[in-house]
Structure 1
């Protein structure tokens, strides 16, 4: 593990600390920009961006419904516990109940 960290440090020192390393880094930036701007890559980006947006909308709606249900249950003023076939309803604790003996 120490060897990997050491080698990563040497590589970063070369890229950022030497003129030839900075030239290599500049070449890599140009190559990465060319790849990113390639129409074939952008087709994939747009395709997966659309899929991610659709997924987020579906999950957002589901999360919204779950949040509304949870908030409605919390605002009802009681919690329900199931004990065998009987339903026991207990009131929610408020700040005074949570700290007995404090004014």
Structure 2
């Protein structure tokens, strides 16, 4: 009885939600767009975008170097330095 009542309740909720759901969704969407288009919000977004770009430029080479080093290490089988060639015997 527990599973059946859950599914019946979920079905009724879905039907009732679907009737008013689209209108409410559109209202929320309009409200979100209104907030997003607010000049104060856009000013904040531009500041964040600029900061992210600055940090990416500053830290990009460090990250690239670390990734390259890690990849090279994995390709060498975990060795941190390239293997030295054997010395010829006299």
Q: 1:27 to 1:72 in 2, by over 3 A?
A: closer
Unpaired segments ≥5 residues, structure 1: 1-5, 82-88, 92-103
TM-score relative to the length of structure 2: 0.56
Structure with the bigger percentage of strand: 1
**Shift of residue 75 of structure 1?**
8.2
TM-score relative to the length of structure 1: 0.50
What is the CA deviation profile of residues 10-66 of structure 1, one whole-angstrom value per residue up to 9, with x for unaligned ones? 58x71xx11x22111111111100100110000000000111111122221111233
Query: 1:57-68 maps to which residues of 2 (within 5 A)?
Result: 57-68=57-68
Unpaired segments ≥5 residues, structure 2: 1-8, 85-90
Alpha-carbon distance in structure 2 between the residues aligned to 1:68 and 1:80: 12
How many equivalent residue pairs?
A: 73
**CA-atom RMSD, angstroms?**
3.7
Q: Is 1:31 the equivalent of 2:31?
A: yes
Which structure ranks higher in relative contact order (CA pairs < 8 Å, sequence separation ≥ 6)?
1
